[in-house]
Amino acid sequence: MASRKEGTGSAATSSSSTTGAAGKGKGKGGSGDSAVKQVQIDGLVVLKIIKHYQEEGQGTEVVQGVLLGLVVEDRLEITNCFPFPQHTEDDADFDEVQYQMEMMRSLRHVNIDHLHVGWYQSTYYGSFVTRALLDSQFSYQHAIEESVVLIYDPIKTAQGSLSLKAYRLTPKLMEVCKEKDFSPEALKKGNITFEHMFEEVPIVIKNSHLINVLMWELEKKAAVADKHELLSLASSHLGKTLQLLMDRVDEMSQDIVKYNTYMRNTSKQQQQKHQYQQRRQQENMQRQSRGEPPLPEEDLSKLFKPHQPPARMDSLLIAGQINTYCQNIKEFTAQNLGKLFMAQALQEYNS
């Protein structure tokens, strides 16, 4: 497929975000010059995000928070973060902006970087490509050029390895969002496919020397992990992901049906218009031949009201979400295949 070539570019970043140097080289699959080529996170931020989700966000609720840091050349350094309270029903008069201002003012007193550089969100099985996320990230990126959204997947992390990804909107998508025009023509003009909506930025984790000392200290004192989740052969989460995927595909097919109906209606309408015009012309010719004044020109657009084209943004989002699910599934199956072969080797050795 033609579009897969660009797709593999972005897939390469998500599956090979190893060292910073390699990441810088491959950057993002073919999406021009972005302000941020790498995200550097402090260990502290990772721990805080994990803790926030663990304590406050069980179930399908998403937890969110703000990232603080600074921008150094083409690198975005995230040095601290603070959580956002969840939207509770009984707290309608809670002022988010005020909370944020107070928090940042207070943090400034203790010399914590108070520059807002992005936000983080937890996700349920990888379903984060929603309209809400798009809008938020757009407003962030509009105000602050280099902002990113960090997506933390707690379920995948519990399976054995930290799953933290940083996303930005591609410049093309930013353009389209600015226009706020999501009709098919505008999107075609912008040449946006679902693979070009978000770009993933490689992440590295950096710690200061003193934190390294702390880590050594902890390693001496804390017990060794007794659970090695990563090597477990269970694939219970696969079922859930597949189910979510099926739901999305259903939505997608509905969307396609809607689009098809629209296309069919428009083409039918075109035909009708054409016929009407022809009839008109014929009548006019007849009238002319009879010497009567021609009929007035009527506004065709009033007679045949054009159909409203369905918004394409939703289907783009759904396609993007399906893509993410598929990526996750493939990663998971790759790992499990590896584990199965290891188990086979173990058995062969035994028998």
Partner 1 sequence: MATPAVPPSTPPAAPTETPAAASDPAPAPAPASVSAPAPAPVPAATPAPASSSDPAAAAATTAAPGQTPASAPAPAQAPAQSLPGPALPGPFPGGRVVRLHPVILASIVDSYERRNEGAARVIGTLLGTVDKHSVEVTNCFSVPHNESEDEVAVDMEFAKNMYELHKKVSPNELILGWYATGHDITEHSVLIHEYYSREAPNPIHLTVDTSLQNGRMSIKAYVSTLMGVPGRTMGVMFTPLTVKYAYYDTERIGVDLIMKTCFSPNRVIGLSSDLQQVGGASARIQDALSTVLQYAEGVLSGKVSADNTVGRFLMSLVNQVPKIVPEDFETMLNSNINDLLMVTYLANLTQSQIALNEKLVNL
Q: Which of residues 227-256 bind partner 1 (CB under 8 A)?
A: 227-231, 233, 235, 238, 242, 245, 249, 252, 256
154 in Cβ contact with 53 (< 8 Å):
yes
Please pick, from the candidates 212, 266, 270, 286, the single residue that binds partner 1 as defined by CB under 8 A.
212
Which residues have a Cβ under 8 Å from the Cβ of 74 and sit 6 or more positions away? 35, 36, 37, 38
Name the E strands within the chain: 38-42, 64-72, 75-83, 116-122, 148-152, 164-169, 198-201, 203-206
Q: Shortest distance, CB of residue 18 to partner 1, whole angstroms?
A: 5
Phi, psi of 200 (to 5 degrees): -95, 135
Residue 73 CA to residue 168 CA, distance in Å, equals 17
Q: How far apart are CA 198 and CA 192, in angstroms?
A: 11
Site for partner 1 in 289-328 (CB under 8 A): 312, 315, 319, 322-323, 325-326
Stretch that binds partner 1, among 28-36, 142-150, 169-177, 267-275 (CB under 8 A): 142-150
Euclidean distance between CA atoms 218 and 43, whole angstroms = 14
Q: Which of 72, 257, 285, 340 is in the footprint of partner 1 by CB under 8 A? A: 340
CB of 278 to partner 1, least distance (A): 27
Assess 194 for contact with partner 1 (CB under 8 A).
yes
Q: Is 47 in the site for partner 1 (CB under 8 A)?
A: yes
Out of 26, 48, 172, 280, the residue judged to bind partner 1 by CB under 8 A: 48
Decide whether 4 or 274 has the Cβ nearer to partner 1: 4
DSSP string, 32-65: ---S-SEEEEEHHHHHHHHHHHHHH--TT---EE
Q: Does the footprint of partner 1 cover residue 184 (CB under 8 A)?
A: yes
Closest CA to 168 of 152, 182, 153, 147: 147
Contacting partner 1 within 164-183 (CB under 8 A): 164
- Considering the complex, state which of residue 135 and residue 292 has its C-beta at the smaller distance from partner 1: 135
Among the listed residues 51, 264, 268, 287, the single contact to partner 1 using CB under 8 A: 51
By the rule CB under 8 A, 42 interacts with partner 1: yes
Distance CA 265, CA 188 (A): 20
- State the sign of the Cα–Cα–Cα–Cα dihedral 265, 268, 273, 274: positive
Smallest distance from the beta carbon of 337 to partner 1, in angstroms?
Answer: 6
| In the complex, minimum distance from the CB of residue 345 to partner 1, in angstroms, rounded to a whole number | 11
Query: Interface with partner 1 includes 333 (CB under 8 A)?
Result: yes
Sketch the per residue contact string, 110 through 139, with partner 1: x for CB under 8 A, - otherwise: xxx-x-x--x------------x--xx--x
How far is residue 193's CA from residue 184's CA, in Å, rounded to a whole number?
11
The contact pattern for partner 1, residues 257-296, with x = CB under 8 A and - = no contact, is --x-------------------------------------
* Token pair for 97: 């902006």
Give me 315's structure tokens: 């289907």
CA distance 137 to 74: 19
The only residue of 35, 71, 204, 311 in contact with partner 1, by rule CB under 8 A:
204
Read off the amino acid at residue 63: V
Minimum CB separation of residue 131 from partner 1 in Å reads 11
Give the residue, chosen from 4, 240, 264, 268, that forms a contact with partner 1 under the rule CB under 8 A: 4
- Residue indicated by tokens 């999305």: 248
Q: Which of 61, 96, 292, 298 binds partner 1 (CB under 8 A)?
A: 96
Smaller CB distance to partner 1: residue 72 or 162?
162
